[in-house]
Copies of this chain bind each other. A is one copy, B any other.
């Protein structure tokens, strides 16, 4: 991102930046700067955007810590606070939706008021009120798709619901009546899987971590369309609980052809044992920080295969092989259509309203939002 400063006509803007990787709550801070409010000062291929909403994803925090494969790109940011100092920093966040305020002279197909999202992770930070970005780094959300959806729905479209969409689409040829099993079922991806599967006629067996208010959480997931909800404790139980689960699963009368894993470790082994002959286990996360363990017999005799999925790689492939861009549009349009029709909703979010704040206020807002202990997914809302 280039933050401009030479003009006198400016928008007062803020951005959550860090100058080195480390504990998010320690390294992140908000700076104020100015961006132009007209197209005159933009380069031919630049676009001025103001963010509408941007979530905090675990991968964003990993990126700040330096442990994510997409590394933060530290670049010279000019004229912080108009003091003419400059610093080498990067703006946090990879997902979000913005509105176009102005476009450079050679920008085609993008107009003021259009909603846009970053084309892929790492191209520019989304935790800021405004940004000047290259036109090729953004994708437009056609105005027709915005009907009946909120900015926050679009802001959270690119990672979790899209991951769920691909997990259900790209590994096994699922047909209505088929059955899948997943752990971390109350995560953003997990909830999206339940809702998309429900819509496509696919049954879901959903594993969540054991917890005090398990029945309430289970009810939430049943309300989203889950067919079976069980706890990891029940899964590894060797007694009656296990038998009951097996009966529940049996009653679905469908082979479990796909397993979705974001946990790893011991309970994932138990889950994998429930997958049918020839099925696929796809890992897209590793919350337990334990490896995926596959008893050799499952691989050899039961022909289970283990794959991995990374949403970023999928988007990169789309950009590399441009023909696939239609697939992005098709996926997003489908998800937003389901959202507008009340068949799909994003996971529970805590909105952090970032508007009309001093840099001190927004710094403390951001520090709260980037806590690993927030308990519920955080999202910045700018409008």
Contact = CB atoms under 8 A, between A and B. Distances in A.
A306 interface: yes
A306 B306 contact: yes
How many copies the complex holds: the figure is 2
A296 B286 contact: yes
A122 interface: no
Interface in A285-329: 285-286, 291-310, 313
Interface string A345-364: 00000000000000000000
Contact of A305 (B69, B296, B302, B306): B306
B303 A305 contact: no
Contact of A310 (B284, B300, B305): B300
Contacts of A294: 283, 291-294, 306
Q: How large is the interface on A (under 10, 10 to 19, 20 to 34, 35 or more residues)?
A: 20 to 34
Contacts of A313: 301, 303
A305 B307 contact: yes
A308 B313 CA distance: 25
B301 A307 contact: no
Interface string A146-179: 0000000000000000000000000000000000
B306 A286 contact: no
B286 A291 contact: no
B300 A286 contact: yes
A205 B269 CA distance: 30
A57 to B, nearest CB: 14
A264 interface: yes
13 contacts: A269-B291, A286-B300, A291-B296, A292-B294, A294-B294, A296-B308, A299-B306, A299-B308, A300-B309, A301-B313, A304-B308, A305-B305, A305-B306
